[in-house]
Amino acid sequence: MTLSPIAPALLEWFNANKRILPFRQDPTPYHIWVSEIMLQQTRVSAAIPYYLRFIEELPDIPALAACDPQRLNKLWEGLGYYSRVRNMQKAAQQVCRDYGGQLPADLKALKSLPGIGDYTAGAVASIGFGIPAPAVDGNVLRVFSRLYNDDRDITLPSTKTAYTDWVMEHQPPDKPGPYNEALMELGALVCLPGGEPLCNRCPLSHLCRAKAAGTQLDLPVKPAPKAKKLQPITLALVKSEAGWLVRQRPRKGLLAGLWEPVLWEERLTKEEAKSRLEGFLAGVEAGEPLPAARHIFTHIQWEMEGWFFTAPALPLPEGYAWADRQALESLYPLPNAFKKYKPLMD
């Protein structure tokens, strides 16, 4: 199954074609770490403004360790999967305690930090420190399944282990970072998912076994995604003279600790929603219906409907607040799930 060396052609292509990205201009271990965590669930173009703002406000690990958690959530607002940034802060605090505020130049030590798995540790070690290590993400799995024309299920740990061995067989010990980045870049720009890969622009097409066999579109093999649970949500956008009614979500679970408009995880009528609000707020008046919206989480899909309401600016129970536009912008991180409703709260 040996494949001729891929690194020379791959690295030559990478040097000529790599995208200019902010974290590539100053690839410190911290910058690589932040960018890789952001890019786990977000496209590069969407992540760049977040990355620049994050690094400007939190330029090093001690600053991240000391950041107020609500401010941290605000910096992450829109990126989703907030447990990532909470884990980053825990890891930063551990790094300050155990390693003097600098990420350790050691693969095993990196993997022991909260939120840093095999892939992120490999990326930080190889790109940030120049340590030979694999960094195998979905892009790299796809590229190797095609290069080797291999039809094993890429979601199986045994397949990942086998592909990781192949990745390391080809990795030049003196260029682990550029090699790993080049593989990811090839997957992102040329060996594309969900459609025809651009084999005529691929520096490895002369070696690629899937191209020779015409099986590129059949690879990689992975099981069909499971259907998501549909969750009806009834939403209340309640306005008073003091602003919009928001409340903090529980400290654990989905969107933990973030802020949201009042909602119920069931389908209510307008009268039922009004009566629930009246349980803690006097003088509620119901208004127009809200547009419907959908938000897809990893395992669940919210189907949102609801109404505008008005109410006097009375004192609120603990965990609730009236938020004017400025407070919504700067103080209360509303998750992306409410993207459709945020512009209505002005």
Interface ranges with ligand SF4 (CB under 6 A): 143, 146-147, 190-191, 197-199, 202, 204-205, 208, 210-211, 216
Q: How far apart are CA 220 and CA 187, in angstroms?
A: 12
Nearer to ligand SF4, 186 or 235 (CB): 186
Q: How far is the CB of 216 from ligand SF4 (least distance, A)?
A: 4
Active site residue 318: no
Q: How far is the CB of 2 from ligand SF4 (least distance, A)?
A: 17
Q: How far apart are CA 24 and CA 36, in angstroms?
A: 11
Which among 307, 274, 303, 302 is positioned nearest to 290, based on CA atoms? 307
Nearer to ligand SF4, 192 or 327 (CB): 192
Element (H, E) at 320: strand 320-323
Q: How far is the CB of 77 from ligand SF4 (least distance, A)?
A: 36
How is residue 102 written in tokens? 């600098």
Give me the catalytic one of 36, 181, 185, 260.
Answer: 36
Nearer to ligand SF4, 201 or 339 (CB): 201
Q: How far is the CB of 226 from ligand SF4 (least distance, A)?
A: 27
Pairing of strands 320-323, 243-248: antiparallel
Asked if residue 332 lies in contact with residue 261, where contact means CB atoms within 8 angstroms, the answer is no
Which among 210, 274, 206 is positioned nearest to 238, based on CA atoms? 274
Q: How far is the CB of 209 from ligand SF4 (least distance, A)?
A: 8
Burial zone of 108 (CB within 10 Å; 0-12 exposed, 13-18 middle, 19+ buried): exposed
Beta strand ranges found along 172-318 (DSSP E): 229-240, 243-248, 259-264, 285-289, 293-296, 300-310
Q: How far apart are CA 113 and CA 109, in angstroms?
A: 7
- Write the CB contacts of 266 (distance below 8 Å, at least 6 apart in sequence): 232, 234
Residue 28 in 3-state DSSP?
Answer: coil
How is residue 288 written in tokens? 């127009």
Nearer to ligand SF4, 10 or 328 (CB): 10
> Amino acid identity of 164?
T
Asked if residue 269 lies in contact with residue 289, where contact means CB atoms within 8 angstroms, the answer is no
Cα 286 to the chain's mean position, in Å?
37
Q: Please give the positions annotated as active site.
A: 36
